[in-house]
């Protein structure tokens, strides 16, 4: 009997030991780093659109590429997707995914749009009070999907995505993740420039609901402008999407390493993906003039370009000449300059509608019209001349402002 009891005890102890060994890997797995990837929009919410493409498709393609690389390279990272298909989710549902999984990092991928086809480049947002109207506009557009929901007023506690006043809440908000979010955003922007040769529009702050509701370091990436024809080609190409995903992956590698170090984990040994050197052209083709963003333009200034290094646009089919199309100057009528952020309905516009603006030297420069045809824009200038006698025509090549005279010389 005693022997039997002893045996039974040994049996019990072994079970406990076995249990510990079985449980241990489970616990280790639970302690994995979790990243939530959010492809903005989806389903009946297409996001920004152009004649040929929809934001929701670009966002999803980049997210799926990004997730695949992380899953392949990091065995200790759990990748959670808010959506892997063309599905609609509310902003709150996206934030719920982050919080339910106790995520360590949240990456939202979006595509930008501007009334001006000249705007292009990538920017990364963290949560905060928008310091410029341009940043606020992006948050307002991205938050406006809230309006697709029934009884959004109760669900979002009176937050009206279209009312400037609603955004005051972000001024008084404490975000304990802000430092890490900004740190990650900066690395992403650096990677966009070095890996994808994107124009750097900088790290910005604005009141995004989806970031606000997520309890971890969070960023919202605007990978480029669907409204810029050259950039749209890049954003919708397999190569462009792959490159953007790789750039964010490289930023993730750096971020994760710092995170491991701080949290006392073993630092990950995963290394960044280097850009494959471009194969030498068999025939000596003349190198096309290219535009590149300066390393660090001040946020909200017009992105300046220098003529060095690799192209901003994706390699095109040989029979196309996108660089030339991209460089066709877009003319606009500059109405006036103001330090204030004016609403489009402001009486300052004296009834002129469809106005736009760009920011230069910290001032908002309000414009109307945008066309590559000088004559059309000159016609607009004449139409508004009785209201704005000092209005004059300016031109943009990409995001670079030049005089109308310079622009005309270019097109001759
Ligand atoms: Zn979006």
Q: What are the 10-residue block averages of pLDDT along the chain, 412 residues in total?
A: 56 52 45 93 96 96 98 96 97 96 98 94 94 92 92 87 89 83 97 96 94 95 97 97 98 95 86 73 36 36 35 32 52 79 77 76 73 85 85 80 78 69
Instruction: Say if residues 82 and 213 touch (Cβ distance below 8 Å).
Output: no
CA angle 142, 145, 149 (to 5 degrees): 160
Ligand 1 centroid, distance to 187 Cα (angstroms): 21
Q: Which pLDDT value is given to residue 283?
A: 36
d(CA 232, ligand 1 centre) in Å = 14
- pLDDT value at residue 86: 97
Query: Distance between CA 252 and CA 250 in Å, rounded?
Result: 5
Residue-level pLDDT at 294? 33
In whole angstroms, what is the distance from residue 382 CA to residue 388 CA?
A: 9
pLDDT value at position 346?
79
CA-wise closest residue to 156 among 164, 146, 165: 146
Q: Residue 72: its pLDDT value, please?
A: 97
**Nearest 10 degrees: CA dihedral of 369, 372, 376, 381?**
50
Report yes or no: 179 and 218 within 8 Å, Cβ to Cβ.
no
The full set of domains in the chain, from first to last, is 31-262 (3.40.630.40), 328-411 (3.30.70.1070)
| Residue spans of beta strands (DSSP E) within 226-351 | 292-293, 305-306, 330-338
Confidence (pTM): 0.64
Ligand 1 center from residue 39 Cα (angstroms):
9
Q: Is the dihedral of CA 153, 158, 159, 162 positive or negative?
A: positive
CA of 239 to the centre of ligand 1 (A): 21
- Residue 250 CA to ligand 1 centre (angstroms): 22
Closest residue by Cα to residue 218 from 172, 179, 246: 179
| 127 contact partners, CB below 8 Å, separation of at least 6 | 170, 173, 175, 178, 181, 205, 206, 207, 208, 211, 212, 218
Residue 117 phi, psi dihedral angles, 5° rounding: -65, -10
Give the other-Cβ count within 10 Å of 90's Cβ. Answer: 18
Q: What spacing in Å lies between the alpha carbon of 113 and ligand 1's midpoint?
A: 9
Give me the pLDDT at residue 291, please.
38
Ligand 1: distance of its center to the CA of 342 in Å? 23
Tokens at residue 370, please? 């945008």
pLDDT of res. 318:
32
CA 29 to chain centre: 31
| Distance from Cα 226 to the centre of ligand 1, integer Å | 11
Q: Which of 39, 128, 96, 37 is nearest to 214 (CA)?
A: 96
Q: Residue 151: count other Cβ atoms within 10 Å of its Cβ.
A: 7
CA of 211 to the centre of ligand 1 (A): 13
Q: Measured in angstroms, how far is the CA atom of residue 263 from the centroid of ligand 1?
A: 33
Distance between Cα 138 and ligand 1 center (Å)? 8
């Amino acid at each position: 009997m005693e022997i039997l009891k002893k045996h039974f005890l040994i049996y019990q102890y072994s079970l406990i030991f076995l249990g510990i060994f079985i449980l241990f890997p489970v616990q280790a797995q639970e302690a994995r780093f979790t990243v939530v990837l959010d492809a903005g929009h989806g389903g009946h919410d297409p996001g920004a659109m152009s004649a040929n493409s929809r934001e929701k498709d670009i966002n999803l393609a980049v997210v799926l590429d990004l997730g695949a690389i992380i899953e392949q390279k990091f065995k200790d990272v759990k990748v959670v997707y808010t959506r892997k298909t063309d599905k609609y989710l509310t902003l709150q549902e996206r934030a719920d995914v982050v919080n339910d999984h106790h995520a360590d990092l949240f990456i939202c991928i979006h595509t930008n749009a501007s009334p001006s086809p000249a705007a292009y480049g990538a920017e990364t947002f963290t949560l905060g009070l928008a310091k410029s109207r341009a940043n606020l506009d992006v948050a307002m557009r991205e938050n406006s999907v809230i309006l697709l929901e029934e009884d959004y007023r109760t669900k979002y506690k009176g937050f009206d995505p279209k009312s400037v006043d609603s955004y005051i809440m972000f001024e008084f908000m404490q975000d304990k993740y802000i430092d890490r979010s900004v740190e990650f955003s900066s690395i992403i922007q650096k990677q966009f420039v070095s890996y994808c040769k994107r124009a750097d529009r900088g790290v910005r702050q604005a009141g995004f609901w989806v970031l606000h509701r997520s309890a971890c370091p969070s960023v919202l990436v605007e990978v480029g402008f669907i409204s810029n024809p050259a950039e749209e080609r890049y954003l919708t190409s397999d190569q462009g999407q792959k490159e953007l995903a790789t750039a964010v992956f490289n930023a993730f590698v750096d971020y994760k390493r710092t995170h491991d170090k701080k949290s006392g984990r073993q630092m990950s040994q995963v290394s960044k993906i280097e850009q494959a050197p471009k194969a030498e052209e068999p025939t000596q083709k003349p190198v096309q003039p290219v535009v590149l963003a300066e390393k660090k333009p001040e946020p909200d200034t017009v992105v300046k370009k220098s003529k060095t290094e690799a192209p901003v646009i994706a390699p095109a089919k040989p029979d196309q000449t996108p660089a030339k199309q991209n460089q066709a100057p877009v003319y606009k009528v500059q109405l006036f300059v103001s330090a204030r952020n004016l609403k489009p309905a402001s009486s300052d516009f004296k009834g002129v509608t469809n106005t736009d603006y760009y920011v230069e030297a910290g001032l908002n420069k309000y414009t109307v019209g945008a066309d590559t045809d000088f004559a059309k824009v000159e016609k607009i200038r004449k139409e508004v001349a009785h209201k704005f006698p000092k209005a004059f025509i300016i031109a943009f090549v990409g995001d670079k402002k030049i005089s109308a005279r310079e622009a005309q010389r270019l097109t001759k």
